[in-house]
Structure 1
Amino acid sequence: MIAPVRREAVEIREEWLGVALSTRPADRPAAEAAISELYRLIGLSPPRFHWVSSPLVAMEVVPPGVRHSESVERMGDWAAPRRFAALVDELCRELDTPGPLEYVVRDTVRRPLAQSADSVLFSQLQAAYESRHRQWRRWYEPQSVAWIAHYDALRRLGVAAFTPEQDRRLDLWAAATASCGWWWPREDVCTVSERPAALHTEVWGTHGEVRLHHADGPAVRYPDGWELHSWHGTRVPAWVIADPAPWRVTQETNVEVRRCAIERIGWPAYVDGADLRLLATAPDPGNPGFELRLYDMRRETRLLLAVNGSVERDGHRRRYGLTVPGYLNDPLEAAGWTYGLSAEQYSLLVRRT
């Protein structure tokens, strides 16, 4: 019984993932109709709609006739988002159907989609907000496909039966999510964003989870030209993708950005381009058949170049570098230091992962 449910749940998950990753232009009439009905559910009249070309514009531009005190940065003070969030909480309590099959759907549909949304969609909002507003997730999570797909799967798989009114409310959230990008509800005016014009992802999880990644250009691009670059799920400056030179890596202060840039260049090419001096090599006891290479990197810092003990999804082993203190002269000692071990202890490892 569980295996067929899981197979069908995977199909529903992929269907909703396609909704989340859509780059089609927004269906404005459908979006406005669904959002208007949701407004009625919280006791408000349908709003005036203000469409924007990207979330960044929504952050920076106040719609005509709206006070600057009602900018998106002040969304925590708005009443409508709190009422919508309460509406979703109430619906979820009504639709919850505890049991073994519900857990299968949660594990197969909801959790993977939530992780994908966090990596792909919420990261765009974080980029638009930067540090201007911290309390934003409480409203955006009701717009996530994860919870909608979960209850949609329960009813389509016959795990739960909802009333016509419950179906109607769920369908309204589904229609709003499927027809536009993010939206910001004031009491009288609702700002709605277009979807991205381009979106590039890669599968990284065991349940089809995806994250932003594009090695040849922006991972996200909106119709107005706003774009984001990402390397295997890490947001990076454009130069990491477009012009990853060793000298730029040397000047970069962010460790994660530096790592991504070096991976973009390739560790061997980076070592050559940065003119690093090889100090010593040694067979890697934690990864038989591969060696550890220790380089002099900069004052008081050295670079240990190693090969991952586990195989990537594409069948290759990833080469990576670790910075270690400049007083370490032995590759085994340096490798052990990264694990909190001595060189002798590290040499006794059976296999490193």
Structure 2
Amino acid sequence: MQREAAEIREEWLGRALSTLPADRTAAEAAISGLYRLIGLDPPRFHWVPSPVAALTTVPPGMPSWPAEHIGRAPGWTLPPRFSASMRQLCLDLDARIHPSVSGLIRQEVRDPLSRSSGSSLLMALRAAHDVEYHATNTWYQTQCVSWVAHYDAVRRAAGAVFTSEQLRRLDLWAAVARSCGWWWPRQTVCVISERPVTVRTEVWGDNGEVRLHSADGPAIRYPDGWDVHAWHGTRVPSWVFTDPSVLRIDREVNVEVRRCAIERIGWGSYIGQAGLRLVASAPDPGNPGSELRLYDLRRETRVLLAINGSVERDGVRRQYGLTVPASFDDPVAAAGWTYGLSADQYSLLVRRT
């Protein structure tokens, strides 16, 4: 069962990250079915090329509102009803599943897919809103394939038996997840986004979790050209790839963006281009054969240049920098500080990670 569950997880991950054009006929039919489930007639459909277009363009005959207020806007009353319908379906399905089976499938399928979605497609939505979107977060979680995949795996891998009515409701949600991108329902019109045309990810978790990452361009791009850049799961501005100069890096106020830009050009290159002064160097007792190098970085801050104690997925040991207080003159003491250890305690490590 575990192997089959993993295969179903990968199947749904592929659907979630699909770059194929939306199947508009299937999407509209399934969403119409979901409208009927909550007692409404099917809406008319307004297709857009990207999430940002969905939040910035107005369907004919509809009032406009800023993207950051979409969760509180007039007419934004249907998502809670759809989410409530989804939660009731989950309760009905859970009543027919043994808890031990549900726990295993959650571990193998639902949780990894939820993390992958949060580190990929939901990142693009956050970029589209360009603000925190707490009011609409529940609706986007409702659209996440993780819960659909969970019950699909319970049915196919564990042999759970659902009623025909339960399967009909589940199949409607599954059909939407398979056929289009994000959607925003209103009383008489439903806005649906096309899928991206490019999605670049890397594997970073134990159960095949992925996150957005591209070293040479946008990590996700939509048909209208709207895109998002990401470096190992962190959203960054495009200059990190087009102009990662020392000057741009030093002016950047966001610590994570600055770190990603430095990693993009390499810590060694950054230190050389910035002309950082070497304070001291020493063999790394936690990583035999490697060296710790301590540099002045900026006022009251130094950077410790080290090499990973473990090999990355691509077989390479990464060089990385850690900022430490300027009071450190000893690279070994600085390395110990990053682990909450003294220099003597760090020196006794067999190998750090």
Under TM normalisation by the shorter chain, which class is it?
over 0.9
Indicate conservation of the 8 Å contact 1:292/1:304, yes or no.
yes
TM-score, normalised with respect to structure 1: 0.95
Aligned equivalent of 1:81, options 79, 82, 99:
79
- The structure-2 alpha-carbon separation of the partners of 1:163 and 1:254, relative to structure 1 and needing over 3 Å to count, comes to same
Indicate conservation of the 8 Å contact 2:301/2:324, yes or no.
yes
Which segment drifts farther, 328-337 or 278-287? Answer: 328-337
Indicate conservation of the 8 Å contact 1:304/1:334, yes or no.
yes
1:33-48 mapped onto 2 (5 Å cutoff): 33-48=29-44
Aligned equivalent of 1:66, options 50, 62, 65:
62
The CA distance in 2 between the partners of 1:256 and 1:316, in whole Å, is 22
CA offset at residue 132 of structure 1?
6.2
Equivalent AA in structure 2 for residue 192 of structure 1: I
Indicate conservation of the 8 Å contact 1:120/1:211, yes or no.
yes
Equivalent AA in structure 1 for residue 229 of structure 2: H
Give the 3-state SS of the residue equivalent to 1:136 in structure 2: helix
Give the 3-state SS of the residue equivalent to 2:119 in structure 1: helix
Equivalent AA in structure 2 for residue 286 of structure 1: G
For 2:28, the equivalent position in structure 1 comes to: 32
1:1-353 mapped onto 2 (5 Å cutoff): 5-68=1-64, 73-76=69-72, 78-96=76-94, 97-131=97-131, 133-353=133-353
- The structure-2 alpha-carbon separation of the partners of 1:137 and 1:98, relative to structure 1 and needing over 3 Å to count, comes to farther
The CA distance in 1 between the partners of 2:67 and 2:245, in whole Å, is 40
Give the 3-state SS of the residue equivalent to 2:248 in structure 1: helix
Q: Deviations over 1:84-140 (max 9, x none)?
A: 000000000011113333322221111111111111111111111122643211111
- 5+ residue gaps, structure 2, are none
Give the 3-state SS of the residue equivalent to 2:293 in structure 1: strand
Give the 3-state SS of the residue equivalent to 1:171 in structure 2: helix
TM-score, normalised with respect to structure 2: 0.95
CA offset at residue 24 of structure 1?
0.8
CA offset at residue 50 of structure 1?
1.0
CA offset at residue 273 of structure 1?
1.2
Q: How many residues align?
A: 349
Runs (4 or more) in structure 1 with deviation over 3 Å come to: 69-72
Indicate conservation of the 8 Å contact 1:59/1:73, yes or no.
no
CA offset at residue 158 of structure 1?
4.3
Q: How big is the alpha-carbon RMSD for the aligned residues of Structure 1 and Structure 2?
A: 1.6
The CA distance in 2 between the partners of 1:246 and 1:37, in whole Å, is 55
Which segment drifts farther, 311-320 or 218-227? Answer: 311-320
CA offset at residue 70 of structure 1?
9.1
Q: Deviations over 1:260-292 (max 9, x none)?
A: 111111111111111112121111112222111
Q: Deviations over 1:33-65 (max 9, x none)?
A: 110110000011101111111100111122111
CA offset at residue 190 of structure 1?
0.6
Indicate conservation of the 8 Å contact 1:58/1:72, yes or no.
no
Indicate conservation of the 8 Å contact 2:68/2:131, yes or no.
no
Give the 3-state SS of the residue equivalent to 1:68 in structure 2: coil
- 5+ residue gaps, structure 1, are none
Give the 3-state SS of the residue equivalent to 2:134 in structure 1: coil
